[in-house]
């Protein structure tokens, strides 16, 4: 399963968040980039199942102290 995770970050912290996400273990990070617009970063992940995806979003990404908000979009491919 593939998911797109949109991230809002505290000002000036996006690049540190991207570096931390790229170093995550246990899930395939396809892409992690800073973006312009309503969100500050986008992360594309591939997970085996919804449990693995949930663990990544809630424990690793959502728990980062500089992340204000995430929105996860699950692909239907």
Structure tokens at 27: 């899930």
Confidence of residue 63 (pLDDT cuts 50, 70, 90): confident
CATH code of the domain containing 11: 3.30.70.920
Confidence of residue 26 (pLDDT cuts 50, 70, 90): confident
pLDDT at 27 over 90: no
Tell me the per-residue pLDDT of 35-60, one tens digit each, with 9 for 90 and over. 999 999 999 999 999 999 998 888 77
17-52: buried (b, 16+ CB within 10 Å) or exposed (e) per residue?
A: bbebbeeeeebebeebeeeeeebbbbbbbebeeeeb
Enclosing domain of residue 43: 2-74
Q: How many domains does the chain have?
A: 1
Considering the entire predicted model, what is its pTM? Answer: 0.91
């Amino acid at each position: 399963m593939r998911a797109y995770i949109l991230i809002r970050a505290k000002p000036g912290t996006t690049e540190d968040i991207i570096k931390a996400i790229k170093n995550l273990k246990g899930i395939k990070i396809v892409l992690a980039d800073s973006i312009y617009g309503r969100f500050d970063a986008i992360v594309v992940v591939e997970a085996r199942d919804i449990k693995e995806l949930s663990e990544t979003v809630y424990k690793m990404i959502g728990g980062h102290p500089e992340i204000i908000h995430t929105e996860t979009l699950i692909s239907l491919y």
